[in-house]
Structure 1
């Protein structure tokens, strides 16, 4: 059995001023760091570890300290000194006040596995596990893989459209490329119900522009043969197999794949795509074959822009999603065009 123990250890304030200032500055920079950038986090942890090391050395050397009988609900060790906004817990406050008057500081340190009985958490404060969601298909058969992802994604959008959950949003992160594209197309199509614009939220919590749904009278079939024909890879330097069939890249990988909140990448892809669709269809209608990769923010940005262009100028743009698939084996006698071997079309966006 073990229990967590905590002490307030007295350290002389003289000589620690710069270390405390560095810790505060590093802590203030952490929330401003870009996603994935751990430079300021590592710097803060290194400085805080140095302060805790000094407090542990002082404690083992016989420095003045007071043990806290009631552990405060704080996830990490804290530092207390005169003028700080925070105060030590009431059980140790009386002992710490004379230290502050002398210009010293109190550092809270913890031993998570001290000897003693383990304190049990009150059952009333425990959250119950969420109910397991299962994708059930026809005849009650449980779906797996991409079919389960597709059913979950469609249910998510339908729940948001029905208005049953005011916090419902489109969450594209982790959704299969084809499921995401064809799923959005299904709900972009006009149904006679009120149009909606749903918020888009990514795995890092960032947001893209709202996506318009139930807004386009999408057509079936293929656009007229006399329309201009373009073939683009959605992102450059993703699948070199695309180079044999595309005329260029719609978005530059160097621009899109920068470390930034995902929602900002969505906005960038949307704004560039909106401008490019307008330029391609300015003089004549055009059909764009979009050879896709699975970057969700790029998919949302491109097809939101396509939807907006079709709303602004109906009958001038069609987009055909092209999905990469692994090439099937061929023999010396069998010759198959690379487009049909490595890419398969999705449902056309055309209004």
Structure 2
């Protein structure tokens, strides 16, 4: 119980989710406020409470005042965990950020991190507002990089360029790097999309309208890639998806995960179904979650069954299982030799040489 934890501990970590508020872009702080309210009622004087949630700037200052009334101090220490790498990212983070209004409270947390800091991990000591902004700014930057290369893909599609070669070339510049430069369906999941929108909402509340416009463009580019995939599928089906059979490879928002939150693959599958197609979906790990969230789609137990009698196959999540499927594997089961690569990981020359019509985002 929280009462026994409060009586026992001198250092408390609050690590609760901040989902997107229903029907809005803003973050829902219900879980954060509930956790702090419960702790406030029983925390011991002199204790230090560490907030790790991704929150709108200004939240920590409000919560700190509440805790001070109970004789406790707040420190903000944003987490930078990648899904699927939580333990590694906790033990070997790229940096540790400690935001505090009270230096002594910040030093308590620094002492707790001493074994990790001793390995040479950078430490940034700062104020509440900066610590809060570090997390959302990091996510916004990653989203910006993804949307930038997807904007370049849009230009390549019109100009006849190849965005994969473009990304390879600019990524050799050490100031840019290759990470997050793979054009395709864009980002999804439970962090980047909702954090960008919450950042947008908070920037709007603060009156920083130009920043809002910038963040909005990032989100809009990301959404346009999903619509473009549907358009390409329609083009491959001679202008109409009505009555077509479509095989969808992938449901999770990224490979090696069962997370389907804001999944580009499932958004595309649903849009194609609504356009009149019969859609079959397969994913190695995300089937249960996909069925719960998108019950109207048809799900099958293998990639080959998803592609059975398909007029077009859509490769939407870059699982290793799908990357190893070649033209000869799928040709015997499909109705038409049409494939769309939404993740730019398949070899177009291999598929075209085998007689397939091959299309991808940002490639000729």
TM-score when scaled to structure 2?
A: 0.30
Q: Which of the pair is proportionally richer in helix?
A: 2
TM-score when scaled to structure 1?
A: 0.31
Task: Choose 1 or 2 for highest CA Rg.
Answer: 1
